[in-house]
Amino acid sequence: MSETLSHWINGQAVAGQSGRMGDVFNPAIGEKIAEVPFAGTDEVAKAVAAASAAAPEWAATPPIRRARMIFKFKELIEARIDEFARIVTREHGKVLSDAAGSITRGVEVLEFACGIPHLLKGEFSESVGTGVDSYSMRQPLGVVAGITPFNFPAMVPMWMFPISLACGNTFILKPSEKDPSAAIFMAEVMKDAGCPDGVFNVIHGDKVAVDAILEHPDIAAVSFVGSTPIAEYIYTTGCAHGKRVQALGGAKNHAIVLPDADLDMTSDALVSAAYGSAGERCMAVSVAVTVGDAAGDALIESLRPRIEQIKVGPGTDGESEMGPLVSQVHLDKVRGYIDHGVGEGAELVMDGRGLTLQGYENGYYIGPCLFDRATPEMKIYKDEIFGPVLSVVRAPDYDAAVKMVNDHEFGNGVAIFTRDGDAARDFAARAEIGMVGVNVPIPVPVAYHSFGGWKRSLFGDHNMHGMEGVRFNTKLKTITARWPTGIRSGVDLSFPLMG
For residue 483, how many other CB atoms are within 10 A of its CB?
7
Question: Which amino acid makes up residue 336?
Answer: G
317 and 363 Cβ atoms separated by less than 8 Å: no
* Integer CA distances (angstroms), 361 to 94, 124, 355, 389, in order: 17, 65, 9, 21
Contacts of 359 (CB under 8 A, 6+ apart): none
For residue 328, how many other CB atoms are within 10 A of its CB?
15
Contacts of 37 (CB under 8 A, 6+ apart): 4, 5, 6, 7, 15, 16, 17, 18, 20, 21, 22, 204, 205
Contacts of 229 (CB under 8 A, 6+ apart): 249
Contacts of 494 (CB under 8 A, 6+ apart): none
163 and 138 Cβ atoms separated by less than 8 Å: no
Alpha helices in 246-327 (DSSP H): 263-275, 293-308
Query: Which residue in 182, 203, 183 sits closest to 90, CA to CA?
Result: 182
Residue 479 β-bridge partners: 135
282 catalytic, yes or no?
Answer: yes
91 and 73 Cβ atoms separated by less than 8 Å: no
**If phi over 0 gives left and psi between -120 and 50 gives alpha, with beta otherwise, what is residue 181?**
alpha
Q: Find how far residue 25's CA is from the centre of its chain.
A: 22
Q: Which of 114, 167, 282, 369 is catalytic?
A: 282
* Residue 21 phi, psi dihedral angles, 5° rounding: -135, 155
* Integer CA distances (angstroms), 228 to 107, 248, 344, 453, in order: 26, 7, 24, 12
Distance in angstroms (rounded) separating the CA atoms of residues 30 and 25 = 6
390 and 371 Cβ atoms separated by less than 8 Å: yes
Q: Are strands 253-257 and 474-482 parallel, antiparallel or unpaired?
A: unpaired
Query: Which residue in 480, 431, 424, 470 sits closest to 447, CA to CA?
Result: 470
Contacts of 311 (CB under 8 A, 6+ apart): 319, 320, 321, 322
Buried/exposed code over 403-419 (b: 16+ C-beta within 10 A; e: otherwise) = ebbbebebbbbbbbbbe
Query: Which residue in 414, 380, 366, 140 sits closest to 253, CA to CA?
Result: 414
Q: What are the residue numbers of the active site?
A: 282
